[in-house]
A and B are shown apart, each in its own frame.
Chain A
Amino acid sequence: MTDDLIARLAADLRPVRPKAMQRLLIGATVLSTLVAIVAMNMWLGMRPDMDTAMATMNFWTKFSYTLTMALLGGVATLALARPDGRIRWPWYVALGLLGALVILAFVQLARAEPDEMMPLIVGGTSMVCPWRIVLLGLPILFGALIALRRFAPRNPTLAGFAAGIMAGGAGAWVYSFACAETGMMFLVLWYTLGILIVGVIGAVLGRFLLRW
């Protein structure tokens, strides 16, 4: 019986390219991020002051914070998608990055006039920002989960969470081109919240979809 199985498996053998896992996950993520970019353009459109924003540090802070979160989530996902996968450092780096951003946010607030404080924290879109990030992150999460279903995560919940952080980071990165908020504290609070929500959705979906 087992011999039959072995014969069948050997007959079914097809070569696996080196880095096949990386190719599959990166391919799925890039493709679904393109979907999110198209969706963002049709739904929200680029921020109107794009030209001037490109010259501000705030734009690039949002740009690099979200992109770094996506990359850290991606690195964690790749490690955690293996049966013997364990990884910690991306979480520590992400927390360190968030901590540094909190400090920068307080510096910005300390320099601001009292009546500028609230716009820097809540802005005009804090109630919609996290949800827009979630909506833009979801297609990316689905793309990543489709790839992940072919892997073998040691802990499906944790792998799903990592994929969610990657997708949330990428979704937030896409959203940063549409969002005209300038407050650091806004970024710390509402962007991070959006990314975390996608992470939690990823964990819940991973728990059920990534069993093997």
Chain B
Amino acid sequence: MQTDPTETRLRGLMLASLDGDAAAYRMLLAELGRHLRPYFTRRLTPAFASHAEDLVQETLLAIHTRRMTYDRNRPFTAWLHAVAHHKFVDHVRRQSIRLTVPLEDDAPIFAHDDSADALARRDLDAVLDSVPARTGDLIRRTKVDGASVAEAAAAHGISETAAKVSIHRGLKSLAARFAGGAK
């Protein structure tokens, strides 16, 4: 189906949230807030740019109270876009704001994101924080910074085998937590 990494990650967080995972939910809402702010700002005239924050909050609230209407088998970003679009149209109607963009503009929320790199780093930190500190550091050294297992093991003063086992277990638990469940 969808291969877009943003879609895959957000959908995984949403599915975990629907199952009651508050940590995943907080991560999801925080990230959506960061994406929604520029999305609404772009659509409002500068005079109304201050409404963007209200719209972000209204949309987050709608995501919360209407989360039942997300169909687990369908793309999450499509649902999110529909909610954000609905909130925007509703807001514009109530405020009788003159628009800068046509209502039927279907530009995706995730079209471009200047802070994607920083976001990815932040997400990585948050994710690695959820495994034991030494495991997290071993994973970061070997999988992100490109060090060999031997070097990483030496830095922690443990054997290469122990480092391998630790990395393997850490990745497995991360996959179980964030992969969003196998189909």
Contact = CB atoms under 8 A, between A and B. Distances in A.
Interface of A: 1-3, 5-7, 9-16, 18, 20-21, 24, 81-84, 150-152, 154, 211-212
B62 A152 contact: yes
A14 B81 CA distance: 23
Nearest to B18: A16
B69 A151 contact: yes
Q: B interface, how many residues as a size bin?
A: 20 to 34
B165 to A, nearest CB: 33
Interface in B43-69: 53, 56-57, 60-62, 64-69
B25 A152 contact: no
A6 B20 CA distance: 15
B137 to A, nearest CB: 28
B41 interface: no
B86 to A, nearest CB: 6
Nearest to A15: B20
A83 B18 contact: no
A18 B20 CA distance: 12
The B contact surface, by secondary structure, is: helix
A74 to B, nearest CB: 16
Contacts of A16: 18, 67-68
A12 B64 contact: yes
A154 B82 contact: yes
A6 B86 contact: no
B119 interface: no
15 contacts: A2-B60, A3-B30, A5-B57, A11-B22, A12-B64, A13-B20, A14-B20, A16-B18, A21-B69, A82-B69, A83-B66, A83-B83, A84-B74, A84-B82, A151-B68
